[in-house]
Structure 1
Amino acid sequence: MARGQKQYTKEFKHTIVELYNAGKSLAELSSEYALSKSTITGWVKKNKPVAVDKDTTITAADYQAVLKKMARLEEENEILKKGHGHIRKEVTTVFEFITNNKKYHDIKLMCKVLKVSRSSYYKWLNKKPSNREIENAKIEEKIIDIHKESKNRYGAIKINKALKSSGVTISLKRTQRLMKKLGIKSVIVKKYRPTSSKKKIEAQENILKRDFTTTTINEKWVTDITYIHTVKDGWCYLASVMDLYSRKIIGYAMSRSIDTTLALQAVKNAIKLQKPTKELILHSDLGCQYTSSAFKEYIDSTKIIKHSFSGKGCPYDNACIESFHASLKKEEVNLVNYFDYDTARLAIFEYIEAWYNRKRIHGSIGYISPQKCEDLARKIA
């Protein structure tokens, strides 16, 4: 393999193929995951379609047709739900609802579902607005775009930062007012907190000591495991590794079992991706997965990793990775009911790879994405 060429885990390749078979285009996958189209095509050719049962298979075209029909029905139902409070009010209010949601839904479809005339809507729409209204309308469109791109995850502060990055400088209060008018806000869902174990925990050395500052990538990593529920398979588990400099999730693994193998795989994936050559600190809690002899043996075998541990009952010692898992729950996991392990695995993959690492801006690194932060660090090095 040529020097500098990126390596990808088997799980990563299979997941990209699954996304392609599920309908993602080569262009989308290439853009979202920084892969060449030829690389993706090569991976796809090495994988054959999976049969539905012994005698039945389904084509990508059939699958897309079903998805399109389901999406249309879901969209009509969503319009009715959103417009419920407007249907019994005066027509002008209905028109305002259509205008505020035109970035989400087709105008023709909304008029049909809400039973209003398209010609009447456009007549109302074409009345001459004030300069302030024109300016607000343009800003509102940008707000909707930013909010939609974030999958409804951004609140007023991050939307205001994103507006300023695009050349629109307005106050936070004005951003909040416009968001309230549009009826949009950050997703907030209470996260699941597992019950604590009564098993006696032995203290280990805390090298990190809540000093999360770094000068470049691959100096300090933090890791932890979180719980994800599915309808069919019950609890599943995600182990994540974060680089404290970029806040990027550099390694992760999912499993139906919460064991040392899961914790080790996430770290191994991080090492394979980052290829660290200098000494670094890996910080974790005192979970049995991280205090096991197998985990210690592997860490010692790397020769460059020093293992640091949180104090007993001190989640703040590992606050950064705890914060990531909280965001994952708030912005993705707690918004849906995953049917099974594979459904959850694909959703988590997309959240980390396509959204969190590559697009989601992070306040602690100057409101840029973790991937951009890492790219800048590599240029300086």
Structure 2
Amino acid sequence: MSELAADGIPVAVSLRVLKLSRQSYYRWRHQQVTKAEVVEAYRSNALLDAHLDDPEYGYRFLVGEAAEAGEQMCERTAWRICRDNQWWSVFGKKRAKNGKRPGPPVHDDLVQRDFTADDANELWLTDITEHWTDEGKLYLCAIKDVFSGRIVGYSISDRMKARLAV
């Protein structure tokens, strides 16, 4: 903004073009770094020091270390600062699999992973894609002839049902 003003463009015009309010611009110009940003910087420094001392600690232990250094904060604040700066514990957590195991195949594999055909209409492949529209999701199912590589049919629906492919 100051560069535009130095070029002779009035500040009010620049702010109007950029759709910014004059009040917030001059408040920011008067105090560019807020008190909350300064407090967060001190907290980040305390957490970083604690993390570098003991990289195996997670954010919960880092809160205690930062408190001993004089920076009090809740665990949620420490978690947010650590997440934003990607300060993770060296010991990762094992991810749960939610008890989901793949079941048996629904149908036999008639193609046997051989996607070639010697004549037209011998082997068709299908795929369903999801497209976002202003009115919601739209599903497109295209059927492709492997021999010619052409789309031989398609269907569109707002619900992914078996009849879409049939």
TM band (smaller chain): 0.3 to 0.5
Structure with the greater alpha carbon radius of gyration: 2
Normalized against structure 1, the TM-score is what? 0.17
Higher strand share: 2
Normalized against structure 2, the TM-score is what? 0.37
Structure having greater relative contact order (Cα 8 Å, sep ≥ 6) = 1
